[in-house]
Chain A
Amino acid sequence: EVQLVESGGGLVQPGGSLRLSCAASGSTFSDYEVNWVRQAPGKGLEWVSYISSSGGTIYYADSVKGRFTISRDNAKNSLYLQMNSLRAEDSAVYYCATEDWASSFDYWGQGTLVTVSS
């Protein structure tokens, strides 16, 4: 079983940048495909981005394509999300979550809150 802990959230102005991190422990991180999923205040879940176990395959939601970049460092057991050109509608709790063979999100972190406001 893997444990995930997100960090890096905070208050940022519109147009600004932020880098989120997700630290993994308890299992071999390089075995896992990982995603970022976000949830705006009072709203539902929205998938943001996916990265394969090796980092060779990456996908983004249309809403963040060209502005966000997902990456990972398996040697550091870490996942990242570089967020540029932030907008008010990017305000949300951001979760990292592993993806299993059934395309389910089986392990989740506790989330980190990003607020985009002037």
Chain B
Amino acid sequence: DIQMTQSPSSLSASVGDRVTITCRASQSISSYLSWYQQKSGKAPKLLIYAASTLRSGVPSRFSGSGSGTDFTLTISGLQPEDFATYYCQHNYSFGGGTKVEIK
């Protein structure tokens, strides 16, 4: 089974900061990688699929990149509503999550 590893597990950032979250697959997964945002007490929300395709309605400050085993989610200009936990996912495997907290 392919394992997904996210880093860091948490980070502190300020409004306006550029934030980067990394996800690594235990073997090549081409571009089959999705990113989710989850706020406390809510269901996850799909942000990006196929590694870099922004879902309709998701702000353009979110972007994804990578292929093979290494992937990145970038938030350019962190907004107050972006403080949440982010997960990567490939098929039936999720990364452990990255909690983005206010500095």
Chain A residue numbers with a CB within 8 Å of B43 are 95, 108-111
Bound-state Cα–Cα, A47 to B94, Å = 8
Chain A residue numbers with a CB within 8 Å of B96 are 44
Most chain A CB within 10 A, of B42, B45, B94, is at B94
Chain A residue numbers with a CB within 8 Å of B90 are 103
Taking residues whose C-beta sits less than 8 angstroms from the other chain, chain B's interface range is 20 to 34
Question: What distance in Å separates the Cβ of B37 from its nearest Cβ neighbour in chain A?
Answer: 12
Bound-state Cα–Cα, A99 to B49, Å = 11
- Tell me which residues from 28 to 82 in chain B have a Cβ below 8 Å from any Cβ of chain A: 32, 34, 36, 38, 42-46, 49-50, 53, 55
Bound-state Cα–Cα, A102 to B30, Å = 12
Bound-state Cα–Cα, A104 to B49, Å = 6
Bound-state Cα–Cα, A106 to B53, Å = 13
Interface of A is mostly: strand
Chain A residue nearest in CB terms to B87:
A45
Whether, in the assembled complex, A80 has its beta carbon less than 8 Å from a beta carbon of chain B, the answer is no
Chain A residue nearest in CB terms to B93:
A47
Whether, in the assembled complex, B89 has its beta carbon less than 8 Å from a beta carbon of chain A, the answer is yes
Bound-state Cα–Cα, A45 to B87, Å = 8
Whether, in the assembled complex, B12 has its beta carbon less than 8 Å from a beta carbon of chain A, the answer is no
What 1/0 mask marks residues of chain B from 7 to 33 whose CB sits below 8 Å from any chain A CB? 000000000000000000000000010
